[in-house]
Structure 1
Amino acid sequence: MQVVFGSPQPVFPPCALALGNFDGVHRGHQVVLNAALDWASRHDIAPAVAVFDPHPRRYFQPDAPPFRLMDDRQQTDALEAMGFARIHVIPFDTSVAEMMPREFAETVLCGWANVSHVFVGADFAFGKNRSGDVPILTGIGEQLGFGVTGLGLEAADNEKISSSRIRACLADGDVTNAAALLGRPWTVRGEIETGEQRGRTIGFPTANIALGDYCRPKFGVYAIRVRLNGERLPGVANVGLRPTVGGAVERLEVHLFDFARDIYGETVEVEFIGFLRPEQKFNGLDELKAQIAQDAATARAVLAGPG
């Protein structure tokens, strides 16, 4: 996929553009994205996506807790897999945040992306102080020569699918419903880091992954699968502070079943399949070891089921 930052030179041919944050590329987003792909195919025009970087939420609330559902690489891969060949990354800085709706349309949509038709969610807001909406964008498009389609995001249980709804599921440890809304298991991507290697001393070596700006799921133990170099490996993971050993940094620790290779420095993707129990403090390493053995057995049983 071609990733274009800011104003391209030379300008690209006209496109059908899906515009939004698309954090998670979930089933609701896919309504907008697939509409852009379909229109592009019917009109023999290039399909493209435009996203903001940083996410506007991070720009306006720099001290907000981590909230992302996926990192930039995961987002790009998901969009490419859908059929998009180009993504425009709009640098969300003061100049863009202060643009009025028409200026944004002229500069970004017409100038940078060269849109023929724009697809957004029905509740899309843009421009300074979120002063623009779909009807305003439609009117601007009529003046500037591009079409606009606003689409309602797919509903599940009579409730709109949204990134915030998925984050709420994860905060409850409900990775099953999160996966249903995403259309795939929620996945954390990261590099295996060297930890304290305490797990080796009790027979359960772990791979440690920093959570970065990913939203924090409920602290606890999960059945997981790890994608590594084309393999999909079963395991059990803990997300949290590791109170038994006095941990102070939130961390994802993964134990892979029947696995002994050195993978420090490798980049992996951890799929969250099932929540097993909340994080808790144990009275020493022997008690922790016994519980991990039980967790591993439970995780194996969960992973032996469908999926």
Structure 2
Amino acid sequence: MIIFRKLSEVKEKLRHPAVTIGNFDGVHLGHREIFRRLTGKARAQGGVSVVITFTPHPMQVVSPGTGVKLITTTTEKEALIAAAGIDYLLEIPFDWNFASIPATQFVEEILVGTIGMESLVIGYDYAFGRGREGDVNLLRALGERYGYTVDLLEPISNGTTIYSSTAVRNMVGAGDVKGVLSVLGRHYAVTGTVIHGDQRGRVLGFPTANLCVQKDLLPAAGVYAVKAAVGHDHFDGACNIGTNPTFDGHRLSLEVFLFDFDGDLYGREVTITFIERLRGEMRFPNIDALKEAIARDVARCRAILGAPESSAGQADPGRDLSGRQGE
């Protein structure tokens, strides 16, 4: 896939392009259906498929107070769009000047004049341009003038939930990491760098890696069964998101205990894939009660993930493991 990160990089009109436009945050199953239709359209007209998106997300510019939490980073979104077989990705820098461009001007100067669009595929709820005036009616009217076709996809769902980025955000935010698979099309994941935490691993007997993550969207506070990738190595694990109320904590943290891992993780990048939520965050009366709960959580995670029992889940509380996984 060829990526253009600004309009000036498009030096000439593309070959019989089929185009779609959107934010495509999350690249969920609805987006992937749009891409499937797009690539099919491109093949039918002997041309190329083109995805046009914006960076940063327009809501972060025009309505920053809404606090939209993105499902995917730019790098993740690029990789997912490439995996859908798209030929070209145009990432248009979005600011207030661009937001003020009328939809008709966007079509005439960019879609037709720069890209050479011959067909357009859009989702049922998409609109663009100043005041979101670029709806399907305007696009079809302009298509008659400039000779491109417009395909509108009706809402796509799993029978209960319409595929949308909002639905994904709501489900992840509520901790429904198992249910979101049916909308997102994959398990939700975050990537972070292992940093120094509060060094409680030696006390609790389950050393954890404390992650500084790249995303604002985290699952609800609680305990999760997870898969973890460290470089080319993969591990099962148990993850806790929360403020550590048993220790009167206030700062939100994400910590993961990797089963059967032995090594130093400080400074390394770890990707956590959330499989299932076990429970919400709890405050325990003392450290012994917390240790017993963690042991139960680890056993349940092993059962969910199909990992065999091992001594890693029964670490000696007296053993200094704080420098191993990160905490």
What is the TM-score when the length of structure 2 is the normalising length? Answer: 0.86
CA shift, 1:73, in A, is 1.4
Alignment counterpart, residue 191 of structure 2, candidates 179, 189, 192: 189
**Paired AA for residue 270 in structure 2:** V
Residue 13 of structure 1 pairs with residue 14 of structure 2: yes
Q: Which residues in structure 2 correspond to 1:33-52 (within 5 Å)? A: 33-52=35-54
CA–CA distance in 2 between the matches of 1:151 and 1:227? 36
Structure number with greater Rg is 2
Aligned equivalents of 1:261, 1:248: Cα separation in 2: 29
Change in Cα spacing, 1:81 to 1:260, as seen in structure 2 (3 Å) is: same
Cα separation, partners in 2 of 1:96 and 1:46, compared to 1, 3 Å = same
Moved more, 57-66 or 73-82: 57-66
Question: Hey, what's the Cα distance between the residues in 2 that align with 1:169 and 1:49?
Answer: 26
Q: Distance in 2 between matches of 1:139 and 1:86?
A: 26
2-structure distance, mates of 1:36, 1:218: 35
Alignment partner of 2:180 out of 170, 178, 181: 178
Corresponding position of 1:32: 34
Where 1:233 maps in the other structure, the secondary structure is strand
Q: Which runs of 4+ in 1 moved over 4 A?
A: none
In 1, Cα distance between equivalents of 2:53 and 2:12 = 18
TM-superposed CA distance for 1:57, in Å, is 1.8
- 1:62 pairs with 55, 61, 64, which one? 64
Q: Displacement, 1:12?
A: 4.9
Paired with 1:40 and 1:135, the residues of 2 have a C-alpha distance of 22
Higher alpha-carbon deviation: 273-282 or 134-143: 134-143
The alpha carbon displacement at 1:176 in A equals 1.6
Amino acid of the structure 2 residue aligned with 1:20 = G
More deviation in 51-60 or 151-160?
A: 151-160
Percent identity for Structure 1 against Structure 2: 34
Structure 1 residue 106: Cα displacement: 2.4
Using the TM superposition, give the Cα deviation of residue 182 of structure 1 relative to its aligned residue in structure 2, in angstroms: 1.0
Deviation at 1:237, TM superposition (A): 0.4
Quote how far apart the aligned CAs of 1:219 are: 1.0
Describe how 1:125-164 pairs up with structure 2 within 5 A: 125-164=127-166
Residues 232 and 141 of structure 1: CA distance in aligned 2, closer, same or farther (over 3 Å)? farther
- TM-score relative to the length of structure 1: 0.91
Gaps of 5+ in 2: 308-327
In structure 2, distance between residues paired with 1:219 and 1:191: 19
CA distance in 2, matches of 1:172, 1:54: 25
Q: 2:230 aligns with which of 203, 212, 228?
A: 228
Equivalent residue for 1:123?
Answer: 125
Once the two structures are superposed, residues 151-197 of structure 1 have per-residue CA deviations (whole angstroms, 9 ceiling, x without a partner) of 12321224421111122222332212101111111111222233233
SS of corresponding position for 1:291: helix
Distance 1:232 1:107 in 2: 48
Paired with 1:85 and 1:208, the residues of 2 have a C-alpha distance of: 38
Which stretches in structure 1 are left out of the alignment for 5+ residues? none
Number of residue pairs matched? Answer: 305
Provide, for residues 135-157 of structure 1, a one-character-per-residue CA deviation record: whole Å limited to 9, x for no partner.
21121222233322111232122
Q: CA deviation at 1:55?
A: 1.0
Query: Does the CA-based 8 Å contact 1:96-1:104 persist in structure 2?
Result: no
SS in structure 1 at match of 2:293: helix
Q: Distance in 1 between matches of 2:159 and 2:289?
A: 41
Aligned to 1:3: 3
Preserved CA contact (<8 Å) 2:225 2:305: yes
